[in-house]
Amino acid sequence: MAPPTRPFIFDDTQIDRSQLRKTAFNLRWATVEEDVIPLTAGEMDFPIAEPVSEAIQRHAREGYLGYCPKLGFETLREAICEDLSNRSISASPDRILVLDGAAAALKAACRAILNPGDEAVTFDPVDFLLPHCSELAGAKVLRCPVSPIDGSINFEALESLISSKTKALLICNPHNPTGRVLRKEELSAMANLAEKHNLTIISDEVWSEIIIGTIPMTSIASLSDEIRKRTITISGFSKSDGLSGMRVGYLHCENETIFNKIVDFSGVLDTTSGATALSQVAAEAALKEGGPWRSSFVEHLKSLVPYTADQLSQLAGVDCPKPEGTFLLFPSVSAFDMDCESLAEFILTEARVAVVPGAERWFGSRAKGHLRLSVATSRSVVDAALERLSALWGQQS
């Protein structure tokens, strides 16, 4: 393999802001005013790994971009199985469905498992996609509180939410927005509840490659054969490989009946949905050749994310725990005596930094009083944002 020509460094020299202004949507550079630093959506400011870029270009040059196999390219599904086996999940390619993003996989899984009248249990706070996809399927969502400070779970509360109507337990590991990597013991406790109450576990592991603390990533499906059989594992390439705009993700479901139902609901059979050929080529290259680049990116985050948390915690009235996974920070902010939506607006107007408010619609009611900041960028972008925040806080007294 030819040596990489672009170095694995994650500083300002690698960030092309004029390109980001044309390409980074979803509350980011292309959608904010020019002097604003966006620390909003969970995606990176860095260009994708060179082997992935080359694979896309090579495939496009070959000139054939026809329809793909219904479940996704077999070579990609094999690569996904190999990746899952590194997470101790034994999987076969015919139980992998490649879709246009982890979000699409979540939606298809929820539609296959949940019907109107059913209930789904998830957490509060948690990324809106988990309750949203459950609700799209017609289910009522009940939310178990997790501590927004350390992300710990109240298991008594969790079990008390489960009834005969409950069909699914939706987890997010590592957890968006608290950045907690779920402990093996916690996963075992959830798995026991799922077995006791005959629930399907839908595990969103789109952040699983971004482990920056000392707690190892455990996939719930790796706990036992029984648990794997009742779990739908979801992941993708948006967070760790910068492929968010390619819209590609996947799910694994061992249970054949449920898998076929998911395939039915996903829209791949009638061609109303699915990942494009180029996206799948990119995903396969990321799995097969993107490892060294991805590891360097995670190394960069291992210093940047805790550093940012420490700096934020220096601001009066801000408490920012250090995440164990993800590149998201979720500080509680009691400064300025404002609700978090007004505060985010105030920070945008006065400091020209865009952040996500801990609003109920994004994360649930327990996100109140928090902000979420995404820092998959260079140290100097983060420092510029911190300097602005610190100047704003300085005006408070």
Ligand X SMILES: Cc1ncc(COP(=O)(O)O)c(C=O)c1O
Q: Based on the shown chain and the rule CB under 6 A, indicate whether residue 209 belongs to the binding site for ligand X.
A: no
Q: How far is the CB of 62 from ligand X (least distance, A)?
A: 26
Sign (positive or negative) of CA dihedral 24, 26, 30, 34: negative
The binder of ligand X chosen from 32, 39, 42, 233 (CB under 6 A): 42
* Stretch of residues binding ligand X (CB under 6 A), selected from 100-108, 134-142, 313-321, 329-337: 100-108
Of 199 and 356, which CB lies nearer to ligand X in the complex structure? Answer: 356
Q: Based on the shown chain and the rule CB under 6 A, indicate whether residue 125 belongs to the binding site for ligand X.
A: no
Of 37 and 129, which CB lies nearer to ligand X in the complex structure? Answer: 129
Q: What is d(CA 29, CA 51) in angstroms, rounded to the nearest whole number? A: 25
CB neighbours of 216 closer than 8 A, spacing ≥ 6?
181
CB neighbours of 245 closer than 8 A, spacing ≥ 6?
23
C-alpha torsion 193→194→197→199, nearest 10: 160
Q: Based on the shown chain and the rule CB under 6 A, indicate whether residue 129 belongs to the binding site for ligand X.
A: yes
Q: Based on the shown chain and the rule CB under 6 A, indicate whether residue 206 belongs to the binding site for ligand X.
A: yes
Q: What are the structure tokens assigned to 369, written together?
A: 């009083």
Q: How far is the CB of 218 from ligand X (least distance, A)?
A: 17
Side-chain half-sphere CA neighbours of 51 within 13 A: 18
Of 238 and 332, which CB lies nearer to ligand X in the complex structure? Answer: 238
Q: How far is the CB of 133 from ligand X (least distance, A)?
A: 9
- Identify the residue whose tokens are 């509060």: 124
Residue 15: other Cβ atoms inside 10 A: 18
Which residue from 362, 347, 360 is spatially nearest to 392, judged by alpha carbons? 347
Helices 379-394, 340-351: axis angle to 10 degrees equals 100
* Stretch of residues binding ligand X (CB under 6 A), selected from 9-17, 99-107, 299-307, 332-340: 99-107
Q: Based on the shown chain and the rule CB under 6 A, indicate whether residue 179 belongs to the binding site for ligand X.
A: no
CB 236 within 8 A of CB 249: yes
Q: What are the structure tokens assigned to 110, written together?
A: 């929820």
Q: Based on the shown chain and the rule CB under 6 A, indicate whether residue 127 belongs to the binding site for ligand X.
A: yes
Sign (positive or negative) of CA dihedral 208, 210, 213, 216: positive
Of 186 and 311, which CB lies nearer to ligand X in the complex structure? Answer: 186
Total of residues contacting ligand X (CB under 6 A): 14
Taking residues 154 to 173 in sequence order and writing x for each that binds ligand X by CB under 6 A, - otherwise, the string is ------------------x-
Q: Based on the shown chain and the rule CB under 6 A, indicate whether residue 174 belongs to the binding site for ligand X.
A: no
Q: What is d(CA 239, CA 207) in angstroms, rounded to the nearest whole number? A: 6
* Stretch of residues binding ligand X (CB under 6 A), selected from 98-106, 218-226, 312-320, 350-358: 98-106
The binder of ligand X chosen from 238, 266, 279, 311 (CB under 6 A): 238
Beta-bridged to residue 301, according to DSSP, are: none
Q: How far is the CB of 29 from ligand X (least distance, A)?
A: 17
Q: How far is the CB of 287 from ligand X (least distance, A)?
A: 14
* Stretch of residues binding ligand X (CB under 6 A), selected from 67-75, 97-105, 276-284, 317-325: 97-105
Q: What is d(CA 242, CA 187) in angstroms, rounded to the nearest whole number? A: 28
Query: What is the contact surface with ligand X in residues (CB under 6 A)?
Result: 42, 101-103, 127, 129, 172, 176, 204, 206, 236, 238, 244, 249
